[in-house]
Every structure is written in structure tokens, then in C-alpha cells.
Structure 1
């Protein structure tokens, strides 16, 4: 049995970045939290129970939004990653990013080689990474580095 350790805090309010003008935050504290918890370590069972009861997480900060007092509703977004199919605009964005990293700002798009050629999301996502590309000269360097996160290891 894994022990869960956290430092609870009471109700709080913060400014909302969603219902403000673009690039600015609202001046009033309109995102209200009924309770908060700074989690040092959470077991999977405790974390799941909190999520099932409406808690949310941002890094090690867990909070229970007060939806009646908050300005904007909270939406839970879940995605079945195995069944995800990128849209045409998402594929274009990934290809544009890869062209920028590999060939620079003014790189023009090349016409598609073949209509039968299928788009591989995993290959396209990693195409611009240094570790996945050949020794070709590139305009920019894009490198992904993974580091351990003790909090995530504790809850998963």
C-alpha cells in the first residue's frame, strides 16, 4: 500500500486566463477553488478517487474548482491516443514545423509525393528531432530530453 502525502490548503481564487482579452488576464479573481492540496506523493488509488470527485491537477498542485462561483466552466478533455487521427490542419501544422526546423523560416512546402502515401503521426512528430534525423545540415536544432519527475512516478 502506497502512502499519500500532501499539504492541504483552504479555498482560494485566482485570475482567469480564459475569459480575458487575448494576451491578458482578467483583473478580478474569478477562478475560485473550494480546496487545494500540494501533493508530495499520491497513490494511484487516491489520485483516481480525487479525479472522480471533481479534483484537477496542475503539476503537484491539486485543486477542487468551485464551479458555481467560478467565471468559466471546467471541461475534462480525454483522448484515446491509440485511436487518434490527426486532422488535415494538424498534419499541415506538423509538416510546417518540420520544414521550419530542418530548412528555416522561408522554406517552401514541397508538393505531396503521392496521394497513396499515408501520414504516419509518430514519424512526423519525431522527424525534426536531432536523434531521429540523418546527418543533414539543418537550420535549427530541436532536441527532446526526458527527465524523471518524482511526483509523476509516485502517482503512476
Structure 2
């Protein structure tokens, strides 16, 4: 199995690897050393680390690596992700948590016909908004359904 190694800032980071530690002077004077290792569920990554496909940010550590550590997990239906985390394909935002994830947390679910999503959540292709809910999702929600063909 692959293991971790130290690299100098500016070196390419191989796909599937994340930065988990920094050493400010590990690569000579004024050159930061980064420790990279294969991504795994629940790992804390450093600010500036790549976020591999299929992973989302689930928790922030303000005292973490690089001043802002980020815990990452494999995406799953019904989980809470951080505001700065990308929204994976096929998922929509269904609820906001004002106290979540060091600011605002977002609950995400796999898209399906006949569900309420938050205003600002992307509307997946093939779906249409059929109703606006004035006090849904901390402001305004939208009810989405699959577009019907030939009604």
C-alpha cells in the first residue's frame, strides 16, 4: 500500500493524495515542506490541499494544519457538509444549520423527484421548480420534480 512522504511546496501533488502536515522550514530557508499521504475517510487535511473527487469537507479545525484544518469524508446521502465544500454531482442542499461547521453547515441529499431544496442549491438537469416555499430552508425553499415529458 502507498504511504506518505515529505515534499517541497510547489511540487505537484499526485492524484488521490492530500496534504496532512506542514513544516515551515523543512525544505530549506523560507521553503515549506508538506507531508502528503493517500486520501482516506475522516482524515484532516491542510489548507491548500487538494480535495479528491467523492470527498466533502465535514468539519473545520481553526487550529489545524495551515491555520485551518479540514476534516473530509466520502459523500453520503443525508450528511452535513461545510459551506466551503463543493457540492457533489447528483446532490442538492435540503437544510441549513446556522451553527454547523464553524459557520454554516449544509445538509445534502441525493436528488429525487418531489423534494424541497434550499434557494441557492443547484437545480439538477431534468428537474424543474414546481413550487416556492416562502419559509422553507431558512428563508426560501423550492419544491422540485422531474420534468414530465409530453403532458
| Structure number having the greater helix percentage | 1
Higher CA-based Rg: 1
| Structure number having the greater strand percentage | 2
Higher relative contact order (CA 8 A, sep 6+): 1
TM-score, structure 2 as length reference: 0.25
